[in-house]
Amino acid sequence: MRDVFKHLGWFFKQNSKTYIMAGVALVVLSSTSVLPAKLLGLAIEAIANRTINVKSLIFYCLSLLLIPVARYLVNIVYHYTVNKLGQKLSFQLREKYIEHLFELDAVTYSKYTKGDLISRATNDLQVLTVVATSFLQTVVFNSGIVIFAILIMVFTIDPILTLVSILVMPIAIFILNKVRMNKRKYYRKHHEIYADMTEKVLESIEGVKTVRAYCQEENDFKKTKQAIDNDVNSWRKILKFESAFTPLFEFIYIFTYFCAFAFGSYMVITSRISTGDLISFIMYVGMLYGPLISLSSVLNTVNNATISDTRYNEIMNIVPEVKNDEASIPVLDFKKIEFKNVSFKYPFDDVEVIKNINLEINKGETIGIVGPTGSGKSTLIRQLLREFNVTSGQILIDGVDIKNYKIEDVHNLVGYVPQSHILFRKTVDENILVGNPNASYQLMNQAIMLSDFEKDIKELAYGRETIVGELGNSLSGGQRQRLSIARALVKEPQILILDDSLSAVDALTESNIIKNLQISRKDKTNIIVAHRFSAIYKADKIIVLQNGKITDVGTHDELIKHENWYKMQYIEQLSNK
């Protein structure tokens, strides 16, 4: 728990005055909560002794009325303050978390699932917010009631009666603490089960169309239900464990109540205390039950907070492998990109996907990349996105290692259209502006024209103001590809990468897009990964990849002069037309 408060220390320091005010309010609330019992005891004793008069009766009645009113007003101030702190902390923690996620490289996203990352930003952050806010009330307020009640019981009624009545309570709390500490490992396991369930639910929602297309609703439902059942069963284990301790405290409370009443009655009979004192004492014992039950749940909160803090900071402490350093230099343009003996394998794989790649890309060239499925085409061109560091070799931009340039500048050089097109639940225009938020209307029109998306806009219900369904589900595959191309073109990148991004368009549309790019981007670089050779046969240079290695390089005319994979595939595609 020390680490939790250490990690949240910046927030406590930032809001120290507010926390002091909240603490003072809690002390006032806890100290005044014990006063009515004492006043009631004094009033009953005065009535029993027939010493009460109108003046003292008015005093007791007004005091018993004004104390709750005052507590109500303090409660308003306290809860407003604490809720404000909670909202502020929740916002700042999530803001830091999201900012850090954007700084992380692809290694992290290969290791952690979406569901896991989301659960850390929701469930775990909620626990940390509770620690920094309502945890204060649980500890300070309830501890205050217990302390003030015991002090009054000891110094104004009888210390021996107090000792006999409540001695068993701290012992029970100590035992409970020991048992719960041993259960901490399972609480962490539950967080992992919850993350798995979140991931499966997300997967089912995102893949609902595919599941329906293959009539797999029942199988997917079973898997999702299993993940939910695992989470429910995990919670059931925790609830069974927690439930076993609640009756224990109730039994302890009843036992304490019995001791207080029995021994207190004996002391009244022997004239050690008065009847009013006994009534006040019994009321104090009754007041202890709620705070002690709440304090017992603190141990559960501590366990959850420790686990959530570990999970949250596990992500926050990740240092990306791909990052800028103080010596990073800017790059706005280039003349030549060189791959020198570049090999790469993904962080969690044992086999290199591309091997010993040597390649030159000059500014203004159109490069075509072809090869069998799984040959490493996408992996090769994605090295220009700096998602990972290469395993060996170097990528040079104008003779300088790509690692020495600022990552954001390298990203700005490239407009990338991936195989899987991620679109957002926004208008067509808003999706295009993701590529360049400052783009003019004229530039957007040009991008739409170059991507041959004009005719599609006319068919949409509200034209460019039409809301694109989540992940682009309201558009056809070809429309999603062309909208993604428009988004990349509006960026006016020095390097445009089309990673098999024309596979869903017809031959005429493909021809129009390629022709538009040749005309509009004569002085810029285009890299086209394709399976259909019609998309790359006019390229200045065609690279053939097989098993992660470059086996041929040349123009279309040069490559078909020899017996090779390219010529064989070209003839096969011609015969299938």
Distance CA 206, CA 557 (A): 44
Query: Is residue 317 over pLDDT 70?
Result: yes
Distance CA 145, CA 71 (A): 14
Query: Is residue 299 over pLDDT 70?
Result: no
Domain count for the chain: 2
Say if residue 108 is in the same domain as residue 179.
Answer: yes
**Structural domain contains residue 237:** yes
**Structural domain contains residue 182:** yes
Say if residue 142 is in the same domain as residue 276.
Answer: yes
Q: List the CATH number of the domain containing 47.
A: 1.20.1560.10
Say if residue 295 is in the same domain as residue 358.
Answer: no
Work out the angle at residue 333's Cα, subtended by the Cα atoms of residues 329 and 336, and round it to the nearest 5 degrees.
100
Percent above pLDDT 90 for the chain: 27
**Structural domain contains residue 322:** no
Tokens of 42: 């004094």
Distance CA 144, CA 532 (A): 76
> CB of 388 within 8 A of CB of 107?
yes
Say if residue 265 is in the same domain as residue 393.
Answer: no
Distance CA 376, CA 368 (A): 14
Say if residue 210 is in the same domain as residue 289.
Answer: yes
**Structural domain contains residue 323:** no
Q: Where are the alpha helices (DSSP H) in 104-216?
A: 106-111, 114-119, 125-132, 134-136, 142-152, 159-166, 168-182, 184-206, 208-213
Domain boundary among 284, 316, 348: 316
**Structural domain contains residue 215:** yes
At residue 345, what are phi and psi to the nearest 5 degrees? Answer: -135, 145
Kindly state the average pLDDT of the residues 265-289: 83
**Structural domain contains residue 321:** no
Say if residue 256 is in the same domain as residue 352.
Answer: no
pLDDT digits (tens, 9 = 90+) for 457-516: 888 888 889 888 776 777 888 888 899 999 999 999 999 999 988 887 888 888 888 899
Distance CA 200, CA 472 (A): 21
* The predicted structure's pLDDT at residue 152: 83
Kindly state the average pLDDT of the residues 357-373: 93
Kindly state the average pLDDT of the residues 38-47: 80
Residue 115 domain boundaries: 2-316
- 316: amino acid identity, one letter: M
Say if residue 303 is in the same domain as residue 429.
Answer: no
Is the CA virtual torsion 557, 562, 563, 566 positive or negative?
A: negative
Tokens of 337: 């990109």
If DSSP states are collapsed to H, E and C, what string results for 465-532? Answer: HCECCHHHCCCCHHHHHHHHHHHHHCCCCCEEEEECCCCCCCHHHHHHHHHHHHHHCCCCEEEEECCC
Say if residue 397 is in the same domain as residue 507.
Answer: yes
Kindly state the average pLDDT of the residues 7-25: 88
Query: Is residue 1 over pLDDT 80?
Result: no
Going by pLDDT thresholds of 50, 70 and 90, the confidence category of residue 444 is very high
**Structural domain contains residue 462:** yes
**Structural domain contains residue 167:** yes
Say if residue 369 is in the same domain as residue 454.
Answer: yes
By CB atoms closer than 10 A (0-12, 13-18, 19+), residue 368 is buried
* Average pLDDT for the chain: 85
Say if residue 353 is in the same domain as residue 306.
Answer: no
Residues with Cβ within 8 Å of 146's Cβ and at least 6 positions away in sequence, in order, are 288, 291, 292, 295
Range of weakest confidence among 203-207, 402-406, 429-433, 518-522? 203-207
> CB of 392 within 8 A of CB of 343?
yes
Going by pLDDT thresholds of 50, 70 and 90, the confidence category of residue 71 is confident
Per-residue buried b or exposed e for 182-199, using 16+ beta carbons within 10 Å of the residue's own CB: eeeeebbebbebbbbbbb
* The predicted structure's pLDDT at residue 188: 67
- More confident of the two residues 482 and 215: 482
At residue 161, what are phi and psi to the nearest 5 degrees? Answer: -60, -40
* The predicted structure's pLDDT at residue 184: 58
Kindly state the average pLDDT of the residues 38-51: 80
The owner of tokens 């320091």 is 13
Kindly state the average pLDDT of the residues 47-58: 83
* The predicted structure's pLDDT at residue 206: 66
Kindly state the average pLDDT of the residues 556-563: 90
* The predicted structure's pLDDT at residue 245: 62
The sheet with strand 525-529 has its strands ordered as 414-417, 495-499, 525-529, 366-370, 541-546, 549-554
Domain boundary among 271, 287, 316: 316
Say if residue 279 is in the same domain as residue 371.
Answer: no
> CB of 397 within 8 A of CB of 411?
no
Say if residue 360 is in the same domain as residue 302.
Answer: no
Closest CA to 366 of 556, 545, 559, 538: 538
Tokens of 68: 């709750």
Kindly state the average pLDDT of the residues 237-258: 72
Distance CA 220, CA 209 (A): 12
Percent above pLDDT 70 for the chain: 92
Q: List the CATH number of the domain containing 347.
A: 3.40.50.300
* The predicted structure's pLDDT at residue 246: 62
